[in-house]
């Protein structure tokens, strides 16, 4: 562990301009932490963040799939604004086999990292990008050491650094962390604060035993009963996908294999999160660094009979296990400790919150004709109750599928003509009974349908309207508006 350099001025010790360490996992369900109620899963460092900060029980992604969710975190906009509607299958680099083109999907969009950079923060990104053009630093990131495509094997991962393609040496969660710590080392002796994004690929598939440290995988495989993980019969609309992420735990043995890899990936990531926390503590920066942990989207690992996220089915699903994300925020001495916050929050709230927390109340120049939907929740980080003026709903979208949720009801609308869903979350928290045809909920359905329409009428940029896109959960191949922007092959498990 590196000590503070003698005589050095460490990265920001100005309490009004704290450093920001934003940690993002990949395909992690809201249930997938020990502190969130899965006792068989070992996450001592995520639990450590929960004990020294706030655990958010009702935090939602903006879209239950990777690239749109990541774009919303950075821009504070919904997919029907920023135009990233599905996971990106092309546009990473002209030099990558099977790709052959470079697209900057966020070009012309203002991100919170750009605004931080413009206001004296040194911004770095280590790990997964998956928003096109992986070779070129962008959106305010000065340090750029990223996965070339966004997903793949945990060993020998392709990466871009300073525009050069190279192969990572070692387990990828370790590599990401090593690079992140190297960036933080470079900030010792620098007066300006830093904003470091550490984007793990864990626990995204693949989950085979060869992908993860044997001491983790074998321990789970041999000793874990996985009794704390819900397992339902395979969903009738389950969508088959290429590769390991299309695997389904339809037998006890298959389920054990997949969950062993999934748990091993999380525990491997968790140990690296511990390394980051330890480094901050050893260098006197823990109390002046806001640590944020969240996932890009949730994940079903047998829940509802689905092995996947929103695009685990077609039409896409909006179950809480797919749209909720594990979220923790910690800064000892400033953020309340060992608190569970139950208010409804979304990824689109991050941009105004992080900017206000950094002392920047404005959100900079707009990038379209519509305002951003997010609202700062800084008061919660300062120990206050959720404000009465906050929205009482959260909204999600995935192409023509949209969701609006209150603390007690969830309505799912699919354009052009359904199917629609209504869940009474108080009486049915596991979303097992669709009440859409129950006359007792007719007025609630009408109200929520109107609220959903009004919300999107306010924020949608018409040429990026998800209702008009042929999004089927198979990936996006180019900018919205170009011919064949979305892959259209849809194969159901029942047909294979």
Q: Which of 221, 227, 425 is nearest to 321 (CA)?
A: 425
pLDDT in tens, 40-71: 999 999 999 999 999 999 999 999 999 999 99
Residue 488 pLDDT grade (very low, low, confident, very high; cuts 50, 70, 90)? confident
Overall average pLDDT of the 196-216 stretch: 97
What integer pLDDT is reported at residue 9 of this predicted model? 47
pLDDT in tens, 343-398: 999 999 999 999 999 999 754 444 344 689 999 999 999 999 887 778 899 999 99
SS3 state of residue 281: helix
Q: Specify whether the CB–CB gap between 54 and 340 falls below 8 A.
A: yes
Residue 486 is classified by DSSP as: B
Percent of the chain residues past pLDDT 70, beyond the cut: 93
Give how far the C-alpha of residue 402 lies from the chain's centroid of Cα atoms, to the nearest Å: 18
Environment class of residue 114 by beta-carbon count within 10 Å: exposed (0-12), middle (13-18) or buried (19+)?
Answer: buried
What integer pLDDT is reported at residue 240 of this predicted model? 74
- Out of 86-100, 151-165, 249-263, least confident range: 86-100
Residue 8 pLDDT grade (very low, low, confident, very high; cuts 50, 70, 90)? very low
Mean of all residue pLDDT scores within the chain? 92
What integer pLDDT is reported at residue 496 of this predicted model? 33
- Out of 93-107, 256-270, 280-294, 345-359, least confident range: 93-107
What integer pLDDT is reported at residue 246 of this predicted model? 55
Dihedral Cα 166, 170, 175, 181, nearest 10 deg: -120
SS3 state of residue 22: strand
pLDDT in tens, 96-125: 888 889 999 999 999 999 999 999 999 999
Tell whether the model's pLDDT for residue 1 goes beyond 70: no
Residue ranges of domains in the chain, CATH in brackets: 19-391+481-495 (3.40.720.10)
Tell whether the model's pLDDT for residue 244 goes beyond 50: no
Overall average pLDDT of the 410-418 stretch: 97
pTM of the model: 0.95
């Amino acid at each position: 562990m590196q000590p503070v350099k003698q005589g050095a001025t460490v990265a920001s010790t100005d309490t009004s301009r704290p450093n920001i360490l934003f940690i993002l996992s990949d395909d992690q369900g809201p249930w997938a932490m020990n502190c969130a109620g899965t006792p068989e899963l070992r996450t001592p460092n995520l639990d450590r963040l929960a004990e020294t900060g706030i655990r958010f029980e009702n935090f939602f992604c903006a879209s239950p799939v990777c690239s749109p969710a990541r774009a919303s975190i950075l821009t504070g906009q919904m997919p029907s604004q920023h135009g990233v509607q599905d996971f990106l299958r092309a546009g990473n680099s002209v030099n990558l086999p099977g790709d052959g083109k470079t697209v900057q999907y966020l070009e012309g969009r203002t991100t919170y990292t750009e605004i931080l950079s413009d206001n004296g923060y040194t911004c770095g990104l280590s790990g997964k990008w998956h928003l096109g053009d992986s070779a070129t630093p962008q959106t305010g990131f000065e340090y750029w050491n990223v996965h070339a495509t966004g997903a793949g094997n945990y060993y020998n991962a392709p990466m871009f650094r300073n525009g050069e393609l190279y192969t990572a040496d070692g387990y990828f969660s370790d590599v990401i962390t090593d690079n992140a710590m190297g960036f933080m080392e470079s900030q010792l002796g620098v007066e300006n604060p830093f904003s470091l994004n550490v984007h793990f690929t864990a626990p995204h598939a693949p989950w085979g035993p060869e992908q993860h440290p044997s001491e983790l995988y074998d321990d789970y495989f041999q000793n874990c009963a996985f009794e704390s993980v819900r397992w339902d019969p395979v969903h009738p609309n389950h969508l088959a996908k290429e590769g390991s992420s299309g695997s389904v735990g339809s037998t006890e043995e298959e389920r054990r294999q997949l969950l062993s890899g999934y748990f091993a990936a999380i525990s491997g990531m968790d140990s690296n999160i511990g390394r980051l926390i330890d480094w901050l503590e050893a260098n006197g920066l823990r109390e002046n660094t806001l640590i944020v942990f969240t996932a890009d989207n949730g994940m079903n690992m047998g829940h509802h009979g689905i092995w996947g996220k929103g695009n685990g089915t077609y039409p896409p699903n909006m179950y809480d296990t797919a749209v909720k994300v594990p979220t923790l925020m910690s800064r000892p001495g400033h953020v309340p400790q060992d608190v569970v916050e139950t208010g409804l929050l979304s990824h689109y709230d991050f941009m105004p919150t992080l900017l206000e927390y950094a002392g920047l109340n404005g959100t900079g120049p707009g990038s379209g004709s519509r305002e951003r939907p997010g609202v700062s929740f800084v008061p919660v980080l300062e120990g206050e109750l959720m404000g009465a003026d906050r929205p009482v709903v959260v909204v999600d979208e995935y192409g023509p599928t949209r969701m609006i949720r209150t603390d007690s009801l969830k309505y799912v609308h699919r354009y052009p003509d359904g199917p629609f869903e209504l869940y009474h979350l108080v009486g049915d928290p596991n979303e097992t009974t669709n009440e859409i045809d129950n006359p007792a909920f007719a007025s609630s359905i009408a109200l929520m349908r109107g609220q959903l329409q009004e919300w999107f009428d306010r924020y949608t940029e018409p040429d990026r309207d998800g209702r008009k896109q042929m999004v089927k959960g198979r990936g996006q191949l180019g900018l919205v508006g170009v011919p064949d922007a979305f892959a259209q092959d849809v194969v159901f498990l029942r047909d294979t």
